[in-house]
Amino acid sequence: MIEEIKKYYDDLARSYDSNRFENSYGQYIDLQERSFLKAFLPLKSSSNILDLGCGTGRFLNLANYGVDISSNMIEIAQSKFPKIRFKEGSVSNIPFENNHFDAIYSLHVIMHLNQEITQSFLSETHKKLKSNGKLIFDFPSKKRRKLVGYTSENWHAANEFSIDEIIKLSESNWKLVRFRGVLFLPIHRFPIIIRRFFVIIDNVLCRSFFKEYASYVIIELEKK
C-alpha cells in the first residue's frame, strides 16, 4: 500500500495544487481546515511544528518542518518554502528525534491508510512530541458514510473512523481536546457561483451537535 501511495503522489505532484485546491471546492475545504489549524496551533516563531504529509506545502506557512513520503512533493514544497527543514518519511517513520515537536498536524493523510498504520501513526507521533504536545489530524466520518451509504473502491480515502473509535485507539497515550466537522453540506452539488455563500452555514453545522455527520472530522489530541 505505501509504495502505491508514494507512486501516486510522485506522479501527481506537478498538477496537485491546480487539480485539488485551485477550484471553489478545494478552496472551500481549505478555508475550514485552515481556520482550525490557525486557531489551535502554537506560534511557529516559538515552537517546533511539523506538517506530516506536507505535500506541496498547502499549510507550510504554519510550520517550520515538513515530512512527506513523496520526494516529488517535497521538491515543490521546498521551492515555495526554502527556509523550512524537510525530510522524506512517513507517518510511522518520522525522521526526527523523539520529544522534539510542540505540535504535529497531518491532514488528508490518515484517510488513505488503514487502521494498523493509523495505530503506528499515533504511536510514532506520541514519541516525537514533547510532553503535552498537540496532534491534529483528520479522517472521513464513519457516521456520515454510513448515513449516505458510501464505500470506497480502493485505498484512496478508504480509512474511516468514528470519534469513539479514535478514543479507543488513543486513550492510553492521548487526551481528546476538541474536534469539529469539515464539509457538512454537499457543496459539490451546488453551482460554483454560489458555493462561497454557504460557508457560514456549513461552519455552524460543523461545530454543532451534528458535527460527526460532516464529511470529515478534524481532531486535536494532547500527549499525556
pLDDT in tens, 46-93: 999 999 999 999 999 999 999 999 999 999 999 999 999 999 999 999
So what's the pLDDT on residue 205? 97
Q: CB of 160 within 8 A of CB of 195?
A: no
Residue with cell 503522489: 9
**Closest by Cα among 119, 152, 194, 156 to 1:** 156
Q: Which residues touch 190 (CB under 8 Å, ≥6 apart)?
A: 198
Q: CB of 126 within 8 A of CB of 173?
A: yes
Architecture of domain 2-223: 3-Layer(aba) Sandwich (3.40)
Give yes or no for residue 188 having a pLDDT over 90.
no
Out of 3-12, 19-28, 123-132, 156-165, which region has the weakest mean confidence (pLDDT)?
Answer: 19-28
So what's the pLDDT on residue 134? 98
- Sign of the four-CA dihedral 169, 148, 36, 19: positive
CA angle 123, 128, 131 (to 5 degrees): 95
Q: How far is Cα 145 from Cα 130, in angstroms, rounded to an integer?
A: 35
For the chain, give the percent of residues with pLDDT over 90. Answer: 79
- Tell me the pLDDT tens digit for each residue of 103-142: 999 999 999 999 999 999 999 999 999 999 999 999 999 9
Q: Is 29 helix (H, G, I), strand (E, B) or coil?
A: helix
Q: What is the CA radius of gyration of the chain?
A: 17
